[in-house]
Amino acid sequence: MPRARSRAGPAAGSPLGAGDSGDDGGGLRKDTSNMSFEELLELQSQAGTKAYKQLVAGSSTKKQGSRPPVQNACVADKHRPLEMSAKVRVPFLRQVVSISKKVARDPRFDDLSGEYNPEVFDKTYQFLNDIRAKEKELVKKQLKKHRSGEKHEKLQQLLQRMEQQEMAQQERKRQQELRLALKQERRAQAQQGHRPYFLKKSEQRQLVLAEKFKELKRSKKLDSFLSRKRRRNAGKDRRHLPLNKD
Q: Which amino acid is at 94?
A: R
Give how far the C-alpha of residue 141 lies from the chain's centroid of Cα atoms, to the nearest Å. 45
Q: How far apart are CA 10 and CA 22, in angstroms?
A: 9
Distance CA 15, CA 18 (A): 9
Give pLDDT, residue 162.
92
- What pLDDT score does 75 carry? 53
- pLDDT, residue 235, reads 86
Taking 50 as the pLDDT cut, the residues of the chain under it are 1-29, 62-65, 70-71, 73-74
Please report, in angstroms and rounded to a whole number, the separation of the first and last CA atoms in the chain. Answer: 137
* Cβ atoms < 10 Å from Cβ of 88: 7
Amino acid 14: pLDDT: 45
> Cα(41)–Cα(209) distance, rounded to whole angstroms?
111
| Count of residues in the chain | 246
d(CA 182, CA 176): 10
pLDDT at 180: 85
Q: For residue range 40-53, what is the model confidence (pLDDT) as tens digits?
A: 888 888 888 878 77
Quote the CA–CA distance of 239 and 245 in Å, as a whole number: 15
User: What amino acid is encoded at 212 in this protein?
Assistant: K
